[in-house]
């Protein structure tokens, strides 16, 4: 079944949004977004949230004590 | 404790058991994560054969990502340290069973995720298995979300509010969101880690993002009230 992308409702578009975003496709050129300010705002928000989350959680090293505990437990046969 | 470089540690790795263990400690503390290569495969094989220094090397390669994942999931340093310790102890017990059906890091993440989920269950969250993590109850799901332009979040996300919103996500949503949007795993890797379909991973990620947006918009509305 083919889908008329430009005539998609917001519900239809949002139902497919996970698939679109997961595919890595550039959604900015999607026909539905050209006519729909609400879904454009939604997409912008989701991108903003993902970017903010990446900045929120920097990758960190565990303290050396963690390895020391692991090593002790291994030696004890835990 | 010496400051041996990774190269020095590797060159000395074929010593006796206690020496290797001591050097393993150094190696675990001095190396950082690198992409998988032939040398890593060799280290993995040696660790599977019981070489302690090789196991320490594996710890050094993967400790940052596993600890960061634990910390992002539980939001507590002491708890994240305990979970990291438990994940690597389980790795030590199970490493011989790794058959290479997936990437080692994916397999290790799956193991760590199970440790984290077990901890969340102990804390009384209604979360028993990965299946349940992937199937939050309907009332926990996001509402269908429409965004009026005047309520767009762009440029207005408060760090603390986002942190709280992520912490408040159902554990399954939080896990997928962190693995994909923060850790940068692909959906096919997440599907392997969580034993779900790629479509399920995409769908859960989308729901997590919508739920975060709901929470952030609610906060914005609250602040906009006179």
Tens digits of per-residue pLDDT, A11-62?
A: 888 877 766 665 666 777 888 888 888 888 888 888 888 888 888 888 899 9
The total of other beta-carbon atoms located within 10 Å of residue B186's CB is 15
Kindly determine whether residue B162 and residue A53, on different chains, have CB atoms separated by under 8 Å: yes
pLDDT value of residue B5? 32
Q: B78 pLDDT exceeds 70?
A: yes
pLDDT value of residue B21? 39
Q: Which residues contact B81 (CB under 8 A, 6 or more apart)?
A: A62, A63, A65, A66, B67
- Residue in A with minimal Cα distance to B148: A38
What is the spatial distance between Cα B3 and Cα B9, in angstroms, rounded to a whole number? 10
pLDDT value of residue B142? 52
Residue A7 in contact with partner chain B when CB distance is under 8 A: no
The region of weakest confidence among A12-16, B96-100, B136-140 is: B136-140
What is the spatial distance between Cα B129 and Cα B104, in angstroms, rounded to a whole number? 22
Nearest CB among B68, B88, B151 relative to A59 is that of B68
Q: Are B70 and B120 in contact (CB under 8 A)?
A: no
CA dihedral of B79, B85, B86, B91, whole degrees rounded to 10: 150
Best of B52, B209, B213, B220 to substitute, by most chain A Cβ atoms within 10 angstroms, is B209
pLDDT value of residue B19? 38
Q: B28 pLDDT exceeds 60?
A: no
Query: What domains are there in chain B, each with its CATH number?
Result: 6-122 (1.10.1740.10), 135-224 (1.10.10.10)
Q: B2 pLDDT exceeds 60?
A: no
- Residue in A with minimal Cα distance to B199: A19
Give the confidence band of B1 by pLDDT, cuts at 50, 70, 90. very low
For chain A, the structural domain boundaries read: 5-76
What is the spatial distance between Cα A17 and Cα B91, in angstroms, rounded to a whole number? 37
Q: Which residue has the higher pLDDT, B34 or A28?
A: A28
Nearest CB among A41, A57, A75 relative to B72 is that of A57
Of B137, B151, B173, nearest in space to B222 by CA: B151
Best of A19, A54, A62, A73 to substitute, by most chain B Cβ atoms within 10 angstroms, is A62
In chain A, which among 25-54 make CB contacts under 8 A with chain B?
37-39, 41-42, 44-46, 48-50, 52-54
Nearest CB among A52, A70, A74 relative to B162 is that of A52
Query: What residues in B contact A32, CB-CB < 8 Å?
Result: none
pLDDT value of residue B115? 95
Q: B216 pLDDT exceeds 50?
A: yes
Give the minimum alpha-carbon distance from A28 to chain B in angstroms, rounded to a whole number. Answer: 15
Of B174, B36, B180, nearest in space to B105 by CA: B36
Q: Which residue has the higher pLDDT, B187 or B154?
A: B187
Kindly determine whether residue B213 and residue A59, on different chains, have CB atoms separated by under 8 Å: no
Give the confidence band of B59 by pLDDT, cuts at 50, 70, 90. very high
Residue A73 in contact with partner chain B when CB distance is under 8 A: yes
Best of B93, B108, B145, B214 to substitute, by most chain A Cβ atoms within 10 angstroms, is B145
Top-confidence range, B24-38, B154-168, B178-192? B178-192
Give the confidence band of B45 by pLDDT, cuts at 50, 70, 90. very high
Kindly determine whether residue A10 and residue B146, on different chains, have CB atoms separated by under 8 Å: yes
Residue A76 in contact with partner chain B when CB distance is under 8 A: no
Q: Are B172 and B127 in contact (CB under 8 A)?
A: yes
Kindly determine whether residue B157 and residue A44, on different chains, have CB atoms separated by under 8 Å: no
pLDDT value of residue B11? 33
- Residue in A with minimal Cα distance to B210: A46
The region of weakest confidence among A2-11, B27-36, B207-216 is: B27-36
The torsion angles phi and psi of B225, rounded to 5 degrees, stand at -65, 140
Q: Which residues contact B132 (CB under 8 A, 6 or more apart)?
A: B126, B172
DSSP state of A62: P
The torsion angles phi and psi of B57, rounded to 5 degrees, stand at -65, -45
Q: What is the value of pTM for the model shown?
A: 0.73
Kindly determine whether residue A63 and residue B201, on different chains, have CB atoms separated by under 8 Å: no
Q: Which residue has the higher pLDDT, B39 or B193?
A: B193
pLDDT in tens, B163-187: 889 988 888 888 999 998 888 888 8
Secondary structure class of B157 (helix, strand, coil): coil
């Amino acid at each position: 079944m083919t889908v008329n992308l430009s005539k998609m409702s917001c519900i239809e578009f949002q139902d497919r949004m996970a698939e679109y975003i997961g595919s890595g496709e550039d959604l900015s050129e999607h026909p539905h977004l050209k006519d729909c300010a609400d879904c454009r705002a939604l997409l912008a928000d989701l991108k903003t949230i993902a970017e903010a989350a990446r900045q929120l959680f920097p990758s960190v090293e565990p303290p050396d004590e963690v390895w020391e505990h692991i090593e002790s437990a291994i030696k004890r046969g835990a | 404790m010496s400051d041996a470089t990774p190269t020095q540690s590797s060159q000395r790795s074929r010593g006796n058991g206690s020496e290797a263990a001591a050097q393993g400690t150094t190696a675990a503390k001095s190396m950082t994560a690198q992409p998988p290569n032939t040398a890593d495969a060799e280290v993995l094989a040696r660790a599977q054969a019981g070489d302690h220094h090789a196991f320490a090397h594996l710890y050094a390669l993967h400790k940052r990502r596993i600890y960061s994942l634990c910390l992002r999931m539980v939001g507590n340093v002491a708890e994240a340290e305990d979970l990291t310790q438990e994940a690597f102890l389980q790795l030590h017990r199970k490493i011989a069973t790794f058959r290479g059906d997936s990437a080692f890091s994916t397999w290790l993440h799956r193991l760590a995720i199970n440790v984290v989920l077990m901890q969340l269950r102990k804390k009384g969250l209604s979360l028993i298995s990965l299946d349940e993590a992937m199937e939050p109850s309907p009332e926990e799901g996001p509402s269908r979300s429409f965004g009026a332009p005047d309520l767009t979040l762009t440029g207005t996300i408060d760090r603390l509010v986002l942190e709280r919103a992520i912490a408040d996500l159902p554990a399954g949503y939080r896990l997928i969101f962190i693995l994909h949007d923060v850790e940068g795993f692909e959906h096919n890797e997440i599907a392997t880690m969580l034993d779900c379909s790629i479509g399920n991973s995409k769908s859960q990620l989308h729901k997590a993002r919508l739920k975060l947006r709901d929470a952030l918009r609610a906060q914005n509305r609250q602040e906009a009230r006179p």
